[in-house]
Structure 1
Amino acid sequence: MNKNKIILLFLFVFPIITYLIFASAKHNSLFLKTISENNLEIPSTWKSLNGEDVKLQDKITVLGFVGEDVTANKSNLFNLNQKVYNKYFGFKDFQFVMIAPKGTEQDCLDILDQFKMFSTDLSGWHFVFASNEEIENYYKSFNLVGQLDDKEGTAEVILVDKERNHRGRKGVNKKGEQEYRESYNTISAADLHNEMSDDVKILLREYRLALKKNKRKDDFRDKITEEVEKNNK
């Protein structure tokens, strides 16, 4: 095997070896654990305030279930907006999707109008409406430990990645302790400011690093391949 072929082999094998090393590590702060995979998409019959379809696929999503008493949960949504949305809304493909029962459209619209006093761009906020039974069944499909209340709502929100995988924390943390976190409590500003903000940052960084790595890798490999082919002529 000549030198040029060895170089090409190394360029293709090394990234795989590196990935296996990181994948076998007990903890890697660059990635969030996967709680469940390939979750159900939001049905196309569920419409947003502007009548459009809202999808999880190819989006990083904060997913919540606000329930019938939207006004009573306004402070929770405000915490979410201030502590997380305003911090990260500029990232491409990052969205907030709140599922609400039909009949609460005006209450949801009123909340967004109030958010305009604190946020310059609300294009990443979406309220999607369905029947109570549909909401209940959709929530159950995630197989969460938590439950919806009798008004089809919860103060907890979850993180869903671009492949519709539910992401969070499980296993051994940095302190060597077992942990499990499937959701984040919007009642607690501290919970949002600390744990959720950190996890959103990790998830966004994960995709950003992957994009940068792929771009560097492709450019680098293309250049080396061109040099090898040129020397073989």
Structure 2
Amino acid sequence: MKKVFVLVVLFILPIVAYLFFASGINNFGKLPILTEKVSDISVIDPAYTLQDKITILGFLGENVELKKGNAFNLNQKIYKPFYEFNDFQFVMVMPKGTEAKVEELKKDLGSLGDISKWKFIYGEPDEIKTMFASLKTDLTLEENLSTPFVFIVDKDISLRGRKDDEGNGTKYGFNTSSVADLNNKMEDDVKIIFAEYRMALKKNNAERSN
């Protein structure tokens, strides 16, 4: 009996686990598109684009010093585990005039590691409001042009999220004030979108080799 038990543990359970997760990827491996054709940040700054990038898009607003905690949460929980993936970037849309405050924030973030994929672009208030409105969410931008929420934008510049978030309706963004939201939801969704692109790449490579 002991030998049978050992065989089950060593061989059968891993196969069952593989089939379970493989079926999970097939059934739940795509993060829903919530908004197509989000405005590209190149409209604000031609040096940057969302096209062909997996982007975490945020709006820190005028009072950068008050959003440092949000930025640190995001850096530790989402940026660090994923920043080495190709075509991944963090883009923070900032009001013009916050450049000095952003440099202080970058210095603080940089003390914790590589921040090369954190991008900050600067726009006029109307440009930032137009950019935010193009996401077509049920969230609002505060008067200081900030929101604690960040958004997952895919390579086709479409907003991704959850259409039925645990029975609470559509989830457009993730609250950087909540470590639980980042840990329990956003991290999973970022993993899903990376898995989706990896599967698509493998499929394309397999088709080319046939």
Fold match (TM-score > 0.5): yes
Aligned to 2:38: 39
RMSD: 1.7
| Correspondence 1:88 to 2:88 | no
Cα-to-partner distance string for 1:42-91 (whole Å, 9 max, x where unaligned): 134437xxxxx110000000000111001110000000000000010000
Verify the 8 A CA contact 2:44 2:127 in the aligned structure 1.
Answer: no
| Correspondence 1:212 to 2:206 | no
**TM score, norm. by length of structure 1:** 0.75
- Deviation of 1:204 (Å): 0.9
Q: Matched residue pairs, number?
A: 185
Verify the 8 A CA contact 1:46 1:129 in the aligned structure 2.
Answer: yes
Verify the 8 A CA contact 2:150 2:173 in the aligned structure 1.
Answer: yes
Identity, % of aligned positions: 41
| Correspondence 1:112 to 2:106 | yes
**3-state secondary structure, aligned to 2:84:** coil
- Give 1:13-24 correspondences, 5 Å limit: none
Residue among 119, 123, 129 paired with 2:116: 123
Cα-to-partner distance string for 1:178-204 (whole Å, 9 max, x where unaligned): 642100000011111110000001001
Looking at structure 2, the residues matched to 191 and 203 of structure 1 have their Cα atoms a distance apart, in angstroms, of 17
- Give 1:131-170 correspondences, 5 Å limit: 131-170=124-163
Residue among 41, 59, 65 paired with 1:65: 59
| Correspondence 1:100 to 2:99 | no
**3-state secondary structure, aligned to 1:55:** coil
Verify the 8 A CA contact 1:36 1:142 in the aligned structure 2.
Answer: yes
Looking at structure 2, the residues matched to 129 and 135 of structure 1 have their Cα atoms a distance apart, in angstroms, of 9
Residue type at the aligned position of 1:214: N
**3-state secondary structure, aligned to 1:95:** strand
**TM score, norm. by length of structure 2:** 0.83
Verify the 8 A CA contact 2:53 2:89 in the aligned structure 1.
Answer: yes
Alpha-carbon distance change, 68 to 198 in structure 1, aligned in 2, over 3 angstroms: same
Structure 1 unaligned runs (5+)? Answer: 1-26, 48-52, 222-233
Judge which range, 37-46 or 198-207, deviates more: 37-46
Structure 2 unaligned runs (5+)? Answer: 1-25
Aligned to 1:6: none
Residue type at the aligned position of 1:100: M
Residue type at the aligned position of 2:154: D
Looking at structure 2, the residues matched to 157 and 45 of structure 1 have their Cα atoms a distance apart, in angstroms, of 18
**3-state secondary structure, aligned to 2:126:** helix
Divergent runs of 4+, >4 A: none
Residue type at the aligned position of 2:83: F
Alpha-carbon distance change, 216 to 54 in structure 1, aligned in 2, over 3 angstroms: same
Looking at structure 2, the residues matched to 117 and 103 of structure 1 have their Cα atoms a distance apart, in angstroms, of 24
Cα-to-partner distance string for 1:81-127 (whole Å, 9 max, x where unaligned): 000000100000000000010000111111111112212x2111001
Cα-to-partner distance string for 1:192-228 (whole Å, 9 max, x where unaligned): 1110000001001110111012112221x2xxxxxxx
Verify the 8 A CA contact 1:158 1:183 in the aligned structure 2.
Answer: yes
